[in-house]
Amino acid sequence: MSEPKNQQATLSSDAAEVRAQKLAILREKIGDVYPAHFHRTMTNAELAEKYEGLEPDTETADEVTVAGRVYSSRNSGMFIDLRDASGKIQIFSHKDTTPEEARELLPLIDLGDIIGVTGKVRRTKRGELTINAETITMLTKSLLPMPEKWHGVSDIELRYRKRHLDIMTNEESKLRFLQRSKILSGVRRFMEGEGFLEVETPMLQTIYGGATADPFKTFHNTLKMDMYLRIAPELYLKRTLVSGLSDKVFEVNRNFRNEGVSTRHNPEFTMMECYWAYADYEDIMGLVERMLETLALSLYGTTEVAFGDKVLNFKGPFKRVAMPDAVKEATGIDFLAIKTDEEARAAAKAAGFEVEKDWTWGECLAFIFEEKVEGTLIQPSHVTHFPKDISPFAKEVPGEPRLVERFESYCNAWEIANAFSELNDPEEQRRRMVEQLEQAHARGEKDKQLDDEFLDAIDQGMPPAGGLGVGIDRLIMLLTNAPSIRDVILFPARRNKVD
């Protein structure tokens, strides 16, 4: 709708009004409803662990202080389930054990409020670890109702727009974001274990490059110039490699691409890129295998990971297949026997593929690969020997100059990694970048410029190296059984909505 509705509308619902009234009463009664200082003696999980062996129907003299959000309330507040990030604890308030002053607060406490409780620990005869409340401290009054307690928030739009409600009420969602953090730190730990140094390179760039994608453009006021959010860190990481700071560098950070949004694409996404001097693309294959295996093991204790109705096995070594071989097997077309672009197009056309009339041999090969092979690559596998035409930063395969030492790792038919033996011949690099630039300009991409600073660094001499990029969000999807990239990004890109 074009006219924004009054924001007050959401607050005027009964539940919210009642909460506002309760807040006013609380302010009158206890003063500060949002106190700055409160210290718990332990988390709910620590409490559960400490008293794991406490028998049912047993009281202790141990006094503890806990804090958390009220998730449910039974018997008019006599039983309250309090949750902090670590877990749940039951609070018991009864006239025999809880002073009048604390019990007076109970009618003013709503689901979703954050409270602190001090009292003695016991386990009820039903086996529930419980604190007999002696003091109750209001820490935060919630002015909005909690989502339905049994189903949580299931409206997909709400789950993405109000992620706090999603995580608050959906255990699966909470777990997935915990796993995301674990995977991210796992990637860093793995790379450091392999001897890589984490570095940070610019996200704001004056010349964008390192991939083919539309950038986000912005403007620097003081420098008075256009800048771009990076589409890849590649060129800066290579300049770092030239420096000799480390022979193994990596970066985990956001890339930005001004393109389509889908279940597998978010305009900003997390990429891990690394460059390894004196290594080649085959060394990188081993690195990818070790990394995925390590991550799966750290999450599940096994390399077998459920995804939808499939089971993905990340145990290395992965299957390896050269792109021309894969295409030959799938279609019978032997690209290595085809000499010219024209013959390649004719062969593709004869096999029923619609090819553009200016496509090269390599473009035809890659197209047929995507059409016929990509979708079959369910278990983790490496596809090697890419056409040079679509790989401006990779070294030629000795004896077959139309192919390069490049591989992409696939899983569940998605590309999850892209790696090459990095081109370090300055003259060849310049030729290919000029060619790429001309193609970009021909496409109407007029902002694309030649990165002279990068070429200058390559002129200085970059050691032979293997390089790798891993799409971390997709990797997380695979490792956490998430059907959409929005399920693994806390706040995925949304259209603005005024309601």
- Residue-wise DSSP of 294-346: HHHHHHHSSSEEEETTEEEE-PSSPEEEEHHHHHHHHH---GGG--SHHHHHH
Tokens of 457: 């660094």
The piece of 69-77, 133-141, 347-355, 433-441 that touches RNA (CB under 7 A) is 69-77
Q: Per-residue x/- marks for RNA, 126-165, CB under 7 A?
A: xxx-x-------------xxxxxxxxxxxxxxx-x-----
Q: Which amino acid is at 390?
A: I
Contact call for residue 78 and RNA (CB under 7 A): yes
- Per the omega criterion (within 30 degrees of 0), is the bond before 317 cis? yes
User: Is-contact 60 120, C-beta < 8 A?
Assistant: yes
Which of 41, 58, 60, 75 binds RNA (CB under 7 A)? It is: 75
Q: Where are the alpha helices (DSSP H) in 443-471?
A: 452-461
Give bridge partners of residue 229 from the DSSP assignment: 204, 216
Residue 148 assigned to a binding site: no
User: Is-contact 174 83, C-beta < 8 A?
Assistant: no
CA distance 427 to 183: 39
Q: Output the smallest distance, CB 268 to RNA, in A.
A: 11
Q: Output the smallest distance, CB 498 to RNA, in A.
A: 8
User: Is-contact 412 379, C-beta < 8 A?
Assistant: no
DSSP assigned state of 108:
G
Q: Per-residue x/- marks for RNA, 439-478, CB under 7 A?
A: --------------------------------x--x----
Contact call for residue 339 and RNA (CB under 7 A): no
Q: Output the smallest distance, CB 240 to RNA, in A.
A: 22
Contact call for residue 205 and RNA (CB under 7 A): no
Tokens of 205: 């760039």
Residue 194 assigned to a binding site: no
**Which residue, 120 or 300, is less far from RNA as judged by CB?**
120
**Which residue, 298 or 412, is less far from RNA as judged by CB?**
412
**Which residue, 287 or 411, is less far from RNA as judged by CB?**
411
Nearest to 382 by CA among 477, 285, 474: 285
**Which residue, 275 or 367, is less far from RNA as judged by CB?**
367
CA distance 145 to 149: 11
**Which residues, at least 6 apart from 87, have a Cβ–Cβ distance to it below 8 Å?**
43, 44, 45, 48
User: Is-contact 160 486, C-beta < 8 A?
Assistant: yes
Nearest to 274 by CA among 37, 137, 465, 428: 465
Contact call for residue 15 and RNA (CB under 7 A): yes
**Which residue, 155 or 447, is less far from RNA as judged by CB?**
155
Contact call for residue 213 and RNA (CB under 7 A): yes
User: Is-contact 112 142, C-beta < 8 A?
Assistant: yes
Q: Per-residue x/- marks for RNA, 255-294, CB under 7 A?
A: --x-xx-xx-x---x-------------------------
Which of 220, 339, 431, 494 binds RNA (CB under 7 A)? It is: 494
Contact call for residue 362 and RNA (CB under 7 A): no
**Which residue, 408 or 451, is less far from RNA as judged by CB?**
408
* Residue ranges in contact with RNA by CB under 7 A: 1-2, 13-15, 18, 22, 72-76, 78-79, 81, 90, 92, 94, 96, 107, 110-111, 124-128, 130, 144-158, 160, 211-213, 257, 259-260, 262-263, 265, 269, 370, 374, 408, 415, 418, 471, 474, 483-484, 486, 494-497
